[in-house]
Amino acid sequence: MGSREEIVAAAAKVMREQGYAHATTKVIARTAGYSEAMLYKHFRDKTDLFLSVMAEELPALGAALGELTANPGQAPLRDNLVRIARLGLAFYLEGFPIAVSVFSSRELLRSHRERLGEHGPHVLLKGVVDYLRAEQELGRVKADTDVEAAAALVLGACFQQAFLATFEEREPADRADRLADVLLAGL
């Protein structure tokens, strides 16, 4: 493993333990076993590092959505919805402890939102919408289905389950099958 990967892994660890707001580049670099200067050779700033953690260290929901959207109809719709729900729950479970501290102040949230720009949380919602639209075009999702609402329901349920499990310090129940079945009934 090279220094960049070690820094991303250390950042994920520190951010999970301390949250984004309190994780300093100095502590991240020290945890990785490198100098802060080495960190800055690979990353412009802490937000750049955060984006790398979200893309490289968390479950690959975005990649799966891209794959499903590019190849709709390849697997049963229910199987795809279960996959989305499982990956969504895993993504939010891993990401929640990292990102929650961004909400600790309006200024930090505003700054973070501006820096994330096109890479913000709306990307996952758009990915589910795009996938459901692709399935709609194949006739596997009813033509009158509000795919934006359906996408919000599945990701919102995943986020809520991750929030409760994190808050209660417990493993979440695997509700992906049940969630997919309820969603499928409306599609």
CB 19 within 8 A of CB 98: yes
Which class for 76: exposed (0-12), middle (13-18), buried (19 or more C-beta within 10 A)?
exposed
| Spatial CA neighbour of 42 closest among 1, 97, 98 | 1
- Max CA pair span of the chain: 56
Q: What is the pTM for the complete model shown?
A: 0.79
* Sequential pLDDT tens for the chain (187 residues): 568 889 999 998 998 888 877 889 999 999 999 999 999 999 988 888 887 887 776 667 778 888 999 999 999 999 999 999 998 998 888 887 777 777 777 877 787 677 666 666 778 889 999 999 999 999 999 999 999 999 999 999 999 998 899 888 888 878 889 999 999 998 8
| Spatial CA neighbour of 39 closest among 1, 15, 9, 7 | 7
Handedness of CA 8, 163, 116, 129 (dihedral sign): positive
